[in-house]
């Protein structure tokens, strides 16, 4: 039971980071990023495929990336076990560089279609993420391909249940991301994004550059999603591209955002919690389900069909989500203050 709770907490933290990043991009700015997985994938890749390459060069380890990563892992784990502060520093370094790399990737990915309409945006972002997924999956020298590469355990100094530490870490990061997202939503920039979502022409008429706005929010939200990717790969202590499917990291975040309420960060947290809990129960009772229903195939296919139908039901019956988008905080407060003043 304790394991289930820890699982729910960890997955809630990591998925909430991704869905809040998607909420900034889709819920706030109206950009249908059907390639959310791209930033998550690159965030995870940055840990094993970029930062660790520098460490491998630093320690002078020879050989292919897959073998040298394994060797690096033993060296690093030993050092982390001796010196916990090294592990913490390493963790922060991984997260920071992943955020920077993914911010750049997000800005580049949106460039070709940034000035076009939303259907073009969705198609292009999806195509870029699918092709990247394929390249990472096949190319073994880039990031280990389907064999994957192993990563050091940043909590190697802790002898107990490392999942506990990761659950706490994911919640901490989520808190930071949530505060950042709330600040963005309530800032003038956030209001500008909302205006862009509602009517692009109005924003243009006020002399704002749509393309620049899109690139900026895409970079910010991709950086956030990259942190989640890095966290996930550090948790599993390896990087395998096939973990980063469109369903897992694009479709499910969309489901969580729409279920909770697009444009509303608190709603998205709620939607994520509902999704993660339901999914955890599905995972736990998977085998019993197969036995009672006597189905001749894996439950994952039923999961896909079910979540696809849930998405459809949300779209038809609850398009604004479980919790509706609230009016902008600052403006609402000001209005309230003004009305109370005038009533005096």
Partner 1 sequence: MLIEGAIVYSNLLALLSLGLTLTYITTSVPNFAHGSIAVLGSYLALSLYYFLGFHPYLSLPIVFLVCGLLGVVCYLAILRPLIQRGASIVILMIATLALDLILFGFIGAISDSIGGIAKKFIFTTYDFEVQGISGVFFFSSAVVLLTLIFLWFLLFKTKFGIALRASMENPALAETMGINVEKTRIFSWFLSCALAGIAGALLPFKQEIVPLTGSLIIVSIFSASILGGIASIVGALVGGYLIGISESLLTYALSFVLGTEVLLYSKVVSLSALIIALLIAPRGIVEGLRKWSKSFST
Going from the C-alpha of 86 to that of each of 78, 268, 275, the distances in angstroms are 11, 35, 35
- 239 φ/ψ angles, rounded to the nearest 5 degrees: -120, 115
**Helix, strand or coil for residue 149?**
strand
Question: What is the distance between the alpha carbons of residues 232 and 145, in angstroms, rounded to a whole number?
Answer: 17
Q: Whose Cβ is closer to partner 1: residue 60's or residue 296's? A: 296
> Around 24, how many Cα atoms within 13 Å sit in the side-chain half-sphere?
32
Query: Which residues from 314-333 bind partner 1, rule CB under 8 A?
Result: 315-316, 319
Q: Does 32 bind partner 1 (CB under 8 A)?
A: yes
DSSP class of residue 323 equals S
332: number of Cβ within 10 Å: 12
Q: Does 282 bind partner 1 (CB under 8 A)?
A: no
Question: What is the distance between the alpha carbons of residues 168 and 21, in angstroms, rounded to a whole number?
Answer: 20
Q: Assess contact for 125 and 109: CB atoms under 8 A.
A: yes
Tell me how many residues contact partner 1 (CB under 8 A).
Answer: 44
Candidate segments 66-74, 158-166, 250-258, 331-339, binder of partner 1 by CB under 8 A: 250-258
Query: Which residues from 42-71 bind partner 1, rule CB under 8 A?
Result: none
Query: Which residues from 111-130 bind partner 1, rule CB under 8 A?
Result: 112-113, 116, 118-120, 122-124, 126-128, 130
Applying CB under 8 A, which of residues 303, 320, 322, 330 lies at the interface with partner 1? Answer: 303
Applying CB under 8 A, which of residues 309, 329, 331, 337 lies at the interface with partner 1? Answer: 309
Applying CB under 8 A, which of residues 138, 146, 212, 285 lies at the interface with partner 1? Answer: 138
Quote the tokens at residue 12. 């809630």
**Contacts with partner 1, residue ranges (CB under 8 A):** 26, 30, 32, 34, 112-113, 116, 118-120, 122-124, 126-128, 130-131, 134-135, 138, 246-247, 251, 254, 258, 295-298, 300-305, 307-309, 311-312, 315-316, 319
């Amino acid at each position: 039971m304790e394991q289930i709770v820890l699982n729910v907490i960890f997955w809630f933290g990591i998925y909430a980071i991704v869905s809040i990043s998607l909420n900034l991009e889709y819920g706030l700015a109206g950009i249908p990023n059907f390639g959310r997985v791209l930033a998550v994938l690159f965030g995870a890749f940055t840990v094993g495929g970029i930062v660790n390459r520098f460490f491998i060069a630093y320690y002078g380890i020879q050989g292919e990336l897959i073998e040298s990563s394994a060797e690096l892992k033993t060296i690093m784990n030993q050092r982390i076990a001796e010196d916990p502060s090294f592990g913490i520093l390493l963790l922060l370094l991984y997260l920071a560089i992943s955020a920077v790399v993914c911010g750049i990737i997000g800005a580049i990915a949106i460039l070709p279609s940034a000035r076009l309409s939303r259907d073009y945006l969705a198609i292009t972002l999806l195509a870029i993420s699918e092709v990247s997924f394929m390249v990472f999956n096949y190319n073994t020298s880039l990031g280990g391909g389907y064999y994957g590469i192993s990563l050091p355990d940043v909590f190697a100094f802790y002898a107990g249940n490392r999942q506990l530490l990761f659950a706490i870490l994911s919640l901490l990061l989520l808190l930071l991301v949530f505060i950042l997202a709330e600040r963005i939503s309530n800032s003038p920039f956030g209001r500008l994004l909302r205006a862009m979502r509602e009517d692009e022409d109005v924003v243009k008429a006020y002399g704002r550059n749509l393309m620049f706005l899109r690139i900026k929010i895409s970079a910010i939200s991709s950086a956030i999603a990259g942190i989640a990717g890095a966290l996930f790969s550090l948790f599993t202590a390896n990087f395998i591209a096939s973990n980063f499917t469109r369903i897992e990291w694009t479709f499910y975040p969309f489901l969580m955002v729409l279920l909770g309420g697009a444009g509303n960060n608190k709603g998205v947290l709620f939607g994520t919690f509902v999704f993660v809990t339901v999914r955890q129960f599905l995972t736990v009772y998977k085998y019993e389900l197969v036995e009672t229903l006597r189905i001749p195939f894996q439950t994952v296919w039923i999961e896909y069909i079910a979540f696809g139908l849930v998405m459809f039901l949300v779209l038809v019956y609850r398009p604004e989500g479980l919790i509706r988008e609230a009016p902008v905080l600052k403006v609402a407060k000001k209005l309230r203050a003004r009305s109370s003043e005038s009533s005096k």
